[in-house]
Amino acid sequence: MLMITPVPGSQNMPCFRLGGRLVSPWIDAVSGLQASQAEVRLDLSVVQFIDSEGLTLLHGLQQQRAVLEHVTPYYCRAATNEATMITALTSTETGKRNVIPRGSQ
């Protein structure tokens, strides 16, 4: 199951917290979040599992200007294992970006 919860914040870039499992049955629900917005932030702090389709979706959303916040170590490892380039906002307080290069461990 996947929970999608709106998070109060900037109206210029709406934020949604994803929780649970980001797996193929929920891909359309998550992709629809950006379809209705120019930009969107996705908080992944309580995501417990992401399958390969979920990883592909998140990578595609990033290419469409989505910002991934509070990326979990699980996602970082999975993204690296999928040999994708992920740019993730690791801290909303500092605004630092963490780039995980393709093929790094």
Q: What is the DSSP string of 49-95?
A: EE-HHHHHHHHHHHHTT-EEES--HHHHHHHHHTT--EEEE--TTT-
Q: Where are the domains of the chain?
A: 2-100
Which option is the CATH number for 2-100: 3.30.750.24, 3.30.1360.120, 2.40.50.140, 3.40.50.620?
3.30.750.24
Q: Which 8-state DSSP code applies to residue 26?
A: G
In angstroms, the CA 105 to CA 11 distance is 36
pLDDT band at 21 (very low <50, low <70, confident <90, very high): very high
Count of beta carbons in the 10 Å neighbourhood of residue 96 = 9
- The pLDDT score that the predictor gives to residue 4 is 94
In the beta sheet, which residues pair with residue 88? Answer: 98
Q: Between 83 and 23, where is the model more confident?
A: 23
Residue 79 — very low, low, confident or very high, per pLDDT cuts 50/70/90? low
Which of residues 105 and 75 earns the better pLDDT score? 75
Give the global pTM: 0.70
Residue 58 has pLDDT above 50, yes or no: yes
